[in-house]
Amino acid sequence: MTNIADEFTTHLRQLGAAGQVVEFETEVPTAAAAAELLGCEVGAIANSLVFTVEDEPLLILTSGAHRVDTKHVARSQGLGRIRRATPDFVLAATGQPVGGVGPVGHPRPIRTLVDRHLNSYPVIWAGAGTKYRMFPTTYPELIRITGGTEIDVSG
């Protein structure tokens, strides 16, 4: 029987992602917690934040050092009002719980925007489908595997 973590790892391999999923003994639901465990800067953590735009999911991968300015993102991308998704909506859209959402491995494609600030780091750590797992990647690989659009998320 497979679970979210196994499916996520399989999906990464199918996408040709190079990094190996790392599992922790404790939850890493925040960028600060993940950075502390990994011994990296909080900015090198790619937060997977799910929003709604007209009842459709929008995934914004942002550096742990940034906050998303939803008004700026909406203006720059020609979108309607962007709202933070509820935990139930996140789980339905991604198949993954809040605090563990990865940039890939969702039941169907989700429009994805990627914070350009992540390009400042040679290694980026992203969620791997659960609050206990992450994987290393690079900015070019993150753009490639997500099909994401590069953006300045904070204006």
Q: What is the pTM of this model?
A: 0.94
Q: In this structure, are residues 72 and 155 in contact, taking their beta carbons and an 8 Å threshold?
A: yes
- Tens of each residue's pLDDT in the chain, 155 residues: 346 667 888 889 999 999 999 999 999 878 998 999 999 999 999 999 999 999 999 999 999 999 999 999 999 999 999 999 999 999 999 999 998 999 999 999 999 999 999 999 999 999 999 999 999 999 999 999 999 999 999 87
Helix (H, G, I), strand (E, B) or coil at 51: strand
From the list 90, 138, 84, 83, the residue with the least C-alpha distance to 114 is 138
Break the chain down into helix, strand, coil percent, rounded to 5.
35, 25, 40
